[in-house]
Chains A and B, each alone.
Chain A
Amino acid sequence: MANVTTLNVNGKKLRLDVDSQTPLLYVLRDYLNLTGTKYGCGEARCGACTVLADGQMMRSCVTPVGRVSDKQITTIEGLAKDDKLHPLQEAFLKADALQCGYCTAGMIMSAAALFNKNSKPSREEIVKHMDGNVCRCGTYARIVNAIEIAAGTAKEVAE
């Protein structure tokens, strides 16, 4: 089995040596210590493991690392620039769009992928795009609000 020896993550070329069949999720978490990306189901049904590959939404729990070894991977750790939060991160705080926070990284990464193809998504487009991400605490309305705040299409709801 071929091994993967370099991976482009958050703008850096990182050295490693892992079996190319290893899911990207565990390469990020166990080998690169990027634990912001979460395991939720292992079958791409909850979105907790979402990252960007060349700007596109990718469920890392079902993606063998060999398939993305030539792509630019972005994880939640790569969103803030020089300590300045990404507008989506700011908006999630503003809208209080989390409770336990376990789904939050995946939610933010999925929304970031949406912005890459549609900077002003409608509410329906947001719901459709985000439907593969689960928030078991049920903060969906707040997450939609956060995405709209980040897109500049809505203001923060009073409560």
Chain B
Amino acid sequence: MNDDLEFEVERYELFAEPAYNFNFNRRQFLKAFSGGIALIVPMSNLVASTLQQQQGESGRGRGNERVPDDIGAWIHIDENGTVSVFTGKVELGQNIRTSLTQAVAEELHVPLTTVRMVMADTDLTPFDMGTFGSLTTPMMAPQLRKAAAAARETLISLAAEQWKVAPSAVRIVNARFVNHDASKSLTLAEVAKGQKLVKTIPPNVSVTPANEWTIEGTSVAKVNGRDFVTGSHQYTTDIKREGMLYGRIVRPSALESTLVSSDTKAAEAMPGVVVVRDGDFIGIAAPDRQTAIRAEKAVAVHWKAPGQPGDDELFDYLKKNASTERGRSRPVGSISDGMTAADKKLAQTYTVAYIAHAPLEPRAAVAEWNGDKLTVWTGTQRPFGVRSELAEAFHMPEEKIRVIVPDTGSGYGGKHTGECAIEAARLARGSGKPVKLVWTREEEFNWAYFRPAGVIEVSSGVKNDGSVTAWEFHNYNSGASAMQVKYDFPNQDIQFHNSKSPLRQGSYRGLAATANHFAREVHMDELAQLVGMDPVAFRLKNIKDARLQAVLEAVANSFGWDRRKKIEGRGYGIACGFEKGSYVATTAEVSVDPKTKAVKIERAVESFECGAIVNKRHLHNQVEGALVQAIGGAMFEAIQFKNGQILNGRFSRYRLPRFSDMPKIEVVLLDRKDLPSAGAGETPIVGLAPAVSNAIFDATGTRLRSLPLNPR
């Protein structure tokens, strides 16, 4: 897992930042912990599983331990019997508020409603690296399970002590402790009352195996779902503070611009308007939004921007500026031996465009200064990272800054940074009042960051029996995620090459796994065609991994691959892969209009396996959603740009998948209760694009090797 993290070099937006910061220390914990029982998850358990062994705390016995400095999360049962879980993770629609509640309720043997999640508040929750990389389910959930199990055992011994019986004679039934014949019972509150007990997870606490789960493994509804359907949930954009002003930023005319001259007098003369200037930063704070817009327009400003590459020369530019160093990866076997052994050879190039995350809630922040203390509400996947950015921007210690993240209007990897938080805080400091800044959709397109564009070159050799003998793969700029193969190729040389990106780029759902699967799985289809084999049979010939084989066979069965009929204007395509601990296989059926050549995805079937399923309904929802989002990148999403300007940066120019783009979708989930649960927010997105490209070839005989496949 740790290796994977280091390997994800394409999180460009995170470069030059400290990796960890163990800031929720003993002092802060003790401030938050008044009484009751607390179970601590050490940070080291969360950052690297190998470190777990080194956790020497016994946690046994009844005495209080020293509170460690190294807190990653904790569970608190207070003297009223309320169970609170403190984690720095962020809810953005992936439903971890629900799945983590399930994990704790399962082990504590209490109803879901007993458990309250306190998330993503830098004053209340321990440091967390950020909510990305599909890490919550494989890393946070198992630790919270252990903490909850340890809490349960502690509570049971306390109840047993009250009754002077052995702990084995006490059970928890419906959040009540009962003795052997149920003649006595105690509530959580009655057991926790008067206690002040702090423990770290013992090294060998055992948790309920997945095949005995009663709360996890069930389709629990979104725990705070009602707040969303009634409109009462307060996103960052909905927060209002006493005396709050509305912010607006005077944006440069293009990327890389410098300010030549400006005149803000007319704006400053408007009633209630404050103009805040700081270097090239010009911002407005006004009593209402309309006034802020008028003031922004009243600023006369002249910017100078250098000439910059456009999308018409993008792929040449990325190749030309690519690093020639080979990086960390080492070849396997020998490419030249593999090529010599091949009956047929193939070399092809694939490209992917920049695309936008376009979270429906744009970047937003509400900033408020109280003396030298700064509080910022903002929608980000990295509350602690944003706190660091604020500390750096304002030259102040992190203890003076509180970042609070309400459940957020999605992110998809696009909300890792703190630009908007810094801008709002700068306006609030300059105006002396709380300020809300909500980026416009155009700002979100122009001043956030994109999924990297890239060029991928693949050359390979194959024997007539379908075994691939050589696999050379070069990714330029798009990223290294899922670049390694799960196929059984004897000779491989796989390399990622950094390049100079004309646009600001960063994380995206699945990172480069979509690009690398696209190149690999289209190339596999081309090889199958070259040796005259069925695409499924060809893949199976090169697979030894049983889990990959299982998802491929499952999707082929559900789709009816062997029964598919050749119909004019219809095509069928398949792709499979692995990333972040989970396996996926996708089939697509497309229709192609004989006159206009317009492509429609008629049907998509995807099989997915991520170990033991925690919440089948929410997993279904994630997989379906990923497939729909994948349609955009596969079919039509692409950023057009020239000279530092985004040419299609608004919804009327940038097409997003809509209701009418939706194919018939079927999801096949393989539940492996014998395997640990992996995250599922990202990997289901990777298979659609190659499956559709392969289906278009099947229908038309034309190979499309660039994403999006159908840009206009």
Contacts and interface: CB of A to CB of B under 8 A. Distances in A.
Contact of A100 (B237, B361, B616): B361
Which of A22, A30, A92, A136 has the most chain B CB atoms closer than 10 A to its own CB?
A136
A103 interface: yes
Contacts of B95: 99
A113 B361 CA distance: 23
Contacts of B625: 99, 137-139
A137 B407 CA distance: 14
A127 to B, nearest CB: 5
B268 to A, nearest CB: 21
A26 B93 contact: no
Contacts of A43: 441, 650-652
A60 interface: no
A98 B438 contact: no
Contact of B409 (A29, A79, A101, A159): A101
Contacts of A19: 290
Nearest to A146: B229
B360 interface: yes
A154 interface: no
Nearest to A129: B659
A112 interface: no
Interface string A123-147: 0001110111111111111111000
A76 B228 CA distance: 10
A140 B621 contact: no
B624 A138 contact: yes
A48 interface: yes
Given A35-B238, A45-B651, A136-B358, A96 B222 contact: yes
B229 A38 contact: no
Nearest to B231: A36
Nearest to A48: B360
Contacts of A22: 290
B225 interface: yes
A46 B230 contact: no
B658 interface: yes
B221 A93 contact: yes
Interface in B651-684: 651-652, 656-660, 662, 665, 667
Interface stretch (B107-115, B272-280, B340-348, B626-634): B626-634
B624 A39 contact: no
A interface majority secondary structure? loop
B290 A96 contact: no
Contacts of A39: 237, 362, 438
Contact of A138 (B94, B235, B657): B657
A76 B231 CA distance: 6
Nearest to B92: A100
A115 interface: no
Contacts of A103: 360
Contacts of A35: 231, 234, 237-238, 240
Which one of A22, A77, A140 has the greatest number of beta carbons of chain B within 10 Å? A140
Contacts of A36: 230-232
Interface residues of B, number: 61
A14 interface: no
A101 B440 CA distance: 19
A105 B229 CA distance: 6
Contacts of A80: 230
Given A89-B230, A93-B221, A100 B659 contact: no
A33 to B, nearest CB: 7
B376 to A, nearest CB: 19
Contacts of A104: 228-229, 231
A26 B291 CA distance: 12
A111 to B, nearest CB: 11
B228 A101 contact: yes
Dominant SS among interface residues on chain B: loop
A26 B409 contact: no
Contacts of A93: 221-222, 225-226, 229
Interface string A32-66: 01111111111101101000000000000000000
A131 B659 contact: yes
B624 A142 contact: yes
Contacts of B622: 99
Contacts of A100: 92-93, 359-361, 407-410
B183 to A, nearest CB: 40
A96 B651 contact: no
A51 to B, nearest CB: 11
A159 B651 contact: no
B606 to A, nearest CB: 12
B288 interface: yes
A41 B650 contact: yes
A85 B662 contact: no
Contacts of A85: 226, 229-230
A75 B325 CA distance: 58
Contacts of B440: 42
Contacts of B228: 98, 101, 104
B233 interface: yes
A92 B229 CA distance: 7
A20 to B, nearest CB: 11
B617 A102 contact: no
B409 A102 contact: yes
A98 B231 CA distance: 13
A46 B360 contact: yes
Interface string A16-33: 000101100010011001
Interface string B198-235: 00000000000000000000010110011111111111
B618 A131 contact: no
B659 A96 contact: no
A121 to B, nearest CB: 12
B361 A141 contact: no
A73 to B, nearest CB: 14
Contacts of B238: 29, 35
A9 interface: no
Contacts of B221: 93, 96
Given A89-B230, A96-B621, A105-B231, A38 B659 contact: no
Given A99-B625, A103-B360, A131-B659, 4 more contacts: A96-B221, A96-B617, A98-B222, A136-B410
8 contacts: A40-B360, A46-B360, A98-B225, A105-B231, A131-B658, A134-B656, A140-B659, A159-B219
Interface of A: 19, 21-22, 26, 29-30, 33-43, 45-46, 48, 75-77, 79-80, 85, 89, 92-93, 96, 98-105, 108, 126-128, 130-144, 159
The 5 closest A-B pairs by CB, nearest first: A36-B231, A138-B628, A100-B93, A102-B409, A101-B228
